[in-house]
Amino acid sequence: MKRVGKPVFFIVLLLIVAITTLSFTGFSIQHGDIKTTYIKGANDIRWGIDIRGGVDVTFSPPEGQDATREEMAAAESIIKVRMVSQNITDYEVYTDYDKNRIIVRFPWKEGETEFNPEKAIRELGETALLTFREGYETDPVTGLYSGVTESTVILEGKDVESATVGTNQNSAGNQEVVVVLKLNGDGATKFEEATGRLAGTGNISIWMDQTMLSAPFVQSKIAGGEAVITGNFTVKEAKELADRINGGALPFQLQTDNYNSISPTLGQGAKDAMVRAGLIAFIAVAVFMIALYRLPGVIAMIGLTGQIGLVIASISGFFAPFSSFTLTLPGIAGIILSIGVGVDANIITAERIKEELRTGKTLDGALSAGYKRAFTAILDGNITVIIVAIILMGAFGPPKSFFATLLTPFFFMFGPSTAGNIYSFGYTLLMGVLFNFVMSIYASRLLLRSASRFGPLRNKWLYGGEK
Note the pLDDT tens digit of each residue in 13-63. 999 999 999 999 988 888 877 778 888 888 888 887 778 778 888 888 878
Nearest to 105 by CA among 259, 290, 250: 259
Task: Check whether residue 426 and residue 440 sit in a common domain.
Answer: yes
Task: Check whether residue 307 and residue 435 sit in a common domain.
Answer: yes
Task: Check whether residue 143 and residue 204 sit in a common domain.
Answer: yes
Task: Check whether residue 411 and residue 280 sit in a common domain.
Answer: yes
Q: Which residues of 13-34 are buried (b: 16+ CB within 10 A; e: fewer)?
A: beebeebbebbeebeeeeeeee
Listed ranges 129-143, 229-243, 288-302; the one with the highest mean pLDDT: 288-302
| 50 half-sphere exposure, CB direction, 13 A CA radius | 20
Task: Check whether residue 173 and residue 123 sit in a common domain.
Answer: no
Whether 152 has a pLDDT exceeding 80, the answer reads yes
Q: The whole model's pTM is what? A: 0.67
Total structural domains in the chain?
3
Instruction: Read off the CATH number of the domain in which 257 is found.
Output: 3.30.70.3400
Task: Check whether residue 188 and residue 228 sit in a common domain.
Answer: yes
Instruction: Read off the CATH number of the domain in which 316 is found.
Output: 1.20.1640.10
Task: Check whether residue 120 and residue 135 sit in a common domain.
Answer: no
Instruction: Read off the CATH number of the domain in which 141 is found.
Output: 3.30.1360.200
CA–CA distance, 289 with 298 (Å, rounded to integer): 7
Read off the amino acid at residue 378. I
List of E strands, 288-341: 326-327
Task: Check whether residue 242 and residue 346 sit in a common domain.
Answer: no
CA–CA distance, 349 with 354 (Å, rounded to integer): 9
Q: What is the pLDDT of residues 58-101, one digit of tens each?
A: 888 878 778 888 778 878 877 776 676 566 666 788 888 878 88
Beta strands at 160-169 and 211-214: parallel, antiparallel or unpaired: unpaired
Task: Check whether residue 275 and residue 420 sit in a common domain.
Answer: yes
Range of the domain at 351: 6-46+263-463
Local structure of 119: helix, strand or coil: helix
Domain-embedded: residue 1: no
Number of H helices, E strands in the chain: 15, 15
CA–CA distance, 357 with 338 (Å, rounded to integer): 29
Task: Check whether residue 27 and residue 110 sit in a common domain.
Answer: no
CA-CA-CA-CA torsion sign (146, 151, 152, 154) = positive
Task: Check whether residue 243 and residue 335 sit in a common domain.
Answer: no
Local structure of 154: helix, strand or coil: strand
Domain-embedded: residue 285: yes
